Structure 1
Amino acid sequence: MNNSNIDYSKKVVEMKKITKKFGDFVANENIDLTVHKGEVHALLGENGAGKSTLMNILYGLYHPTDGEIYINNELVKVDNPNIAISKGIGMVHQHFMLVQPFTVAQNIVLGIEPTKVGGTIDMKKAIDDVKELSDRYGLYVDPMSKVEDITVGMQQRVEILKALYRGAEILILDEPTAVLTPQEIQELIQIIRNLTKEGKSVIIITHKLKEIKAVADNCTIIRRGKYIDTVKVCETSEDDLAAMMVGREVSFKVDKAEASPKETVLEIQNLLAKDNRKIDVINNLSLEVRAGEILGVAGIDGNGQSELVEVLTGLRKAESGSIKVNGKEVINKTPIEIFKTGIKNIPEDRQKRGLVLDFSVSENMILQNYKNEKFSKNGILNHDAISEHAKTIVERFDIRPTDYTVQARALSGGNQQKIIIGREVDNIETSKNRENEPQVLIATQPTRGLDVGAIEFVHKALIKQRDEGNAVLLVSLELDEVMNVSDRIAVIYEGEIVGIVDAKDADENTLGFMMAGGKKDEQ
């Protein structure tokens, strides 16, 4: 990106030799970062590399063990977020911090509400201020909507407006595209450009190389807590960025042999289900997934993918239809009953559905199996066995940090995802050995928020499950991922499967036409 808005004579942020230790663990070691006025600066690194830690230091959530911070050439001690905000720094966290029942306007002005004479809140002025701010930056929102009723992309806009309302000149975006649809990503890129035109500076924490190339001017790479380099994005290839981030060459191509599908393992017939508003969302859907294949589900977000997975895993009741696993009917059974019949699940939302964040890593490894005689007896947990089990999975799936006694919430998003993937793969292997039947692995957005090295790892793990004779149902909004990893692709539109194509014959135009509701044979 060629950004003429940068003023290289004005350094708005300088972080010098920043070190942060948590006990014996060194999260950041002697890291330097410089950001200029009007610049989009990417902070690139693997999951757990220390990116968010560094930005939490800049925002005052953590205190550095060593090092100095300069804001607009002034040495500052950022002891808490209030000081950061007073210095013109705003931060939009990966997991939004909004009050769900409040309106958009109430969230944006929360804590610094405009008041009338007498001290009562002037909501009319608040709404007018929000409208003026959203128009100015192209962040169009409805001030009167409740946050719980708007999309994730809109919630992100509210977070950005919240920071701008508080006078942010330097905006930190932590994994801003992790939960956005492709269209919302393009809208965010335009929003960032609008911000830099106004002289704002933006720091993006990410590991999505395409988006760095699309929007960033400069990029600082850190690996395992250490500074690697700062490069001009326009002069650096995606391959070079990936190699600097991971420390080795990364393959963007998914290498897999031709599938050898066998018997049908998961059979869905004439499925009907409603959403939370009691509106039909799954409409007479039928689908089969066979042993030894990966069936990808492609579709624009909101076409019933999430509800389909919820029905398959026992989290949502179906109105009618049939779901069979290895010939056994499982429709409307409980989640634990479905788990025992052979469906294993990498959920869409790792924090809400995949983990108990206040449990340790080792405890999260046995969430479905804690009653297993290997891990407990007469209701008393065998902590030695649980620890040994966790140690094996942590080493096998390269989960960082390797301390399996820490709470799951202490890990980065990518490493939280690895906990779930490691657990579910282990569950498949254990179940298959016991039952000697193919298992079904449902993987919903399995690489959301992961770096390229971890994505490569996850794709290999899915293909390995396929090659070992299990059935894999991949549900992803990443069209490249669906096309590269799947053997067959089913396109969902308004709760129906509008067509199924062989992945080797698929292209973006065909799939895009079907995702918009077109039938395969109509093109």
Structure 2
Amino acid sequence: MQAFPPRRTTSTITSLELRGITKRFPGVIANDTVNLSVHGGEIHALLGENGAGKSTLMKILYGLYQPDAGEVRINDQPVTISSPQDAIARGIGMIHQHFMLVPSLTVAENIALGLRSSRGLRLDLDRVSAEVQRLAELYGLRVDPKASIWQLSVGEQQRVEILKALYRGAELLVLDEPTAVITPQEVDDLFAMLRQMRTEGRALIFISHKLREVIALSDRVSVLRDGRLVGTFATAGKSRSDLARLMVGREVVAARADNSHPTEHAGSVALELHGISAQSDRNTPALHGVTLQVRAGEILGLAGVSGNGQRELAEVIAGLRPTSAGTIKLAGKELMGNPAERANAGISYIPEERMRDGAVLEFSVAENLILRNHTEAPFARGPLLDRSAVDQAGRDLIQRFNIKTPGPHTPLKSLSGGNIQKVIMARELSREPAVLVAAQPTRGVDIGATAAIHQLLIELRQRGGAILLISEDLDEILALADRIAVIHAGNIAAILPHAEATPERLGLLMAGVASEVT
């Protein structure tokens, strides 16, 4: 493939079919004779809970997995896709939820990466930049080809991923949770671009847990449940509750806090941050004099585009990251000490990276549920664990928090992402914390588990707990928060009562357009 591929004005993929796709892993059938058809000139949504088989099916389409049975057909001809290179060569592109870009390289260098230069050993980045600029103007994907990736916002990096796929001639594009980390204004721009691509005849597969977006954007929707295709339906006429019922096989009631009169239930200040500054992992300033208060019986939402200081702020409160300035008070007393001491003082923490920071995947479910208390009675018997006490506590919390697991001895790594998150929630909430810091508590979690987690947060709030909810999902923030703080570039741009917060206003603040907000 040359670094300057031929231009195409129309799509040559008129149809894609996955016929009878079956994929087995040890102990589980991820895809069970799945049939899926996608047409050129349509946006086709793919829905399903965690573990339903969506990712496996798309990895087969993109050549990352090989099916145990079934076939892929393009324009009614069977094809073999053995690798992502095969997929790209056949006009299939995939925009992953976690971008595949090299931060130190420029936009043009990332797009040309892996392609042969048409000038032999010499790079032809000038030609690449010219083609990138043409595509950017054609699709409204504003980005500077000479800018380094690390200089770009998350939304701009997503544009680079899309440009990279288009540059390689993608005629069928798979987008995995493309709106998870961008502002509402960027979502509008993205949808306009996807509709333009549909008009040109391209086929798009749109994977999202956000049912409102699925209904607004897609022409048809296919629903997977437990590895099987429930059905494919015209999106028109389907409601969010209809799609949720198809996904989980039962009625799903979204939890929503009563935040119409927040001052009536909010109590005294439970957590107070004053002038907090801290460094990032790269030893550059990440937080700049952050001042916040969270009251008992209140959910304070912290909204922002990924990478604006949310993770650093959560780690500062939990005692995992030092501050360079400022004070933290819990119930009026300055908070010091390590994470264990802060937990004992009444702070619980649900980390953003649950697999890395929130759980020990090799341990059992019961062991993970008592990690905070494993050195204390009744779980400790001298230097050893009291296994019967651990097992009993595990059974109690599994039942209380409706964790789907074969039993307390099951290795945590065997559970779905949503149930691993519920284990972490159960462990932290069972301590009845005075303050809960919940960072991205439902990221990558299906609609059923999301509703359950939201309900747990509401119940803690009703019991008088103070909750700092850090989320990049504005729907989640607006459904749960009494007040909403917006963080941008390590600063608190504004704090709004729920009644004054709209997606448009929050989006402008998240993008740093403070002058647009009165």
Q: Which residue of 2 aligns with 1:313?
A: 318
Aligned CA distance change for structure 1 residues 62 and 394 (closer, same or farther; 3 Å): farther
Instruction: Please give the alpha-carbon distance, in whole angstroms, between the structure 1 residues aligned to 2:153 and 2:272.
Output: 32
For residues 98-497 of structure 1, the aligned pairs below 5 Å read 98-117=101-120, 119-252=121-254, 254=256, 260-273=265-278, 278=284, 281-283=287-289, 285-298=290-303, 305-330=310-335, 333-350=337-354, 353-354=357-358, 359=362, 362=365, 365=368, 369=372, 372=375, 396-398=401-403, 408=413, 415-416=416-417, 418-430=419-431, 432=432, 438-490=433-485, 495-496=491-492
**Displacement of 1:92:** 1.6
Q: Cα deviation per residue 1:241-270 (whole Å; 9 max; x = unaligned)?
A: 222112222224626598744443212234
Q: How far apart, in 2, do the equivalents of 1:205 and 1:513 lie?
A: 22
Alpha-carbon distance in 2 for matches of 1:38, 1:403: 49
Contact 1:293–1:487 (CA<8 Å) still a contact in 2? yes
Aligned to 2:105, the other structure's residue is in SS state coil
Q: 1:56 deviation in Å?
A: 0.8
Structure 1 residue 74: deviation in Å? Answer: 0.9
Question: Which of residues 55, 60, 65 in structure 2 aligns to 1:62?
Answer: 65
3-state DSSP of counterpart to 1:177: coil
2:359, 2:368 within 8 Å by CA — same for their partners in 1?
no
**1:435 equivalent in structure 2:** none
Among all aligned residue pairs of Structure 1 and Structure 2, give the percentage whose two residues are the same amino acid. Answer: 40
Q: What is the aligned partner in structure 2 of residue 88 from structure 1? A: 91
Question: Which one of 62, 76, 81 corresponds to residue 78 of structure 1?
Answer: 81
Unaligned segments of structure 2, at least 5 residues: 1-8
d(CA) in 1 for partners of 2:79, 2:406: 31
Structure 1 residues 146 and 91 mapped into 2: Cα distance closer, same or farther (>3 Å)?
same
Alignment of 1:24 onto 2:19: no
In structure 2, do the counterparts of structure 1 residues 325 and 375 end up closer, same or farther at CA, with 3 Å as the change threshold?
same
**Count of residue correspondences:** 500
User: What CA distance in whole angstroms lies between the structure 2 residues aligned with 1:171 and 1:80?
Assistant: 16
Q: Report whether the alignment pairs 1:35 with 2:35.
A: no
Distance (whole Å) between structure 1 residues aligned to residue 343 and residue 23 of structure 2:
41
Deviation of the 1:152 alpha carbon:
2.0
Give the partner amino acid of 1:325: L
Quote the Cα distance in structure 2 between the aligned partners of 1:511 and 1:361: 45
Structure 1 unaligned spans of 5+: 433-437
Farther off after superposition, 309-318 or 161-170: 309-318
C-alpha distance in structure 2 between counterparts of 1:370 and 1:124, whole Å? 60
Question: How big is the shift at 1:394?
Answer: 6.3
User: Could you give the per-residue CA deviations for residues 218-242 of structure 1, whole angstroms, max 9, x where no partner exists?
Assistant: 1111112111111111232222122
Tell me, in whole angstroms, the C-alpha distance in 2 between the residues paired with 1:387 and 1:27. 30
CA distance in 1, matches of 2:349, 2:454: 15
| Offset, 1:209 | 1.1
> Offset at 1:388?
7.9
Check 1:498–1:162 CA distance in 2 against 1; reply closer, same or farther (3 A cut).
closer
Give the whole-Å Cα distance in 2 for the aligned partners of 1:456 and 1:6: 42
- The farther-off stretch of 447-456 and 378-387 is 378-387
Structure 2 counterpart of 1:508: 502
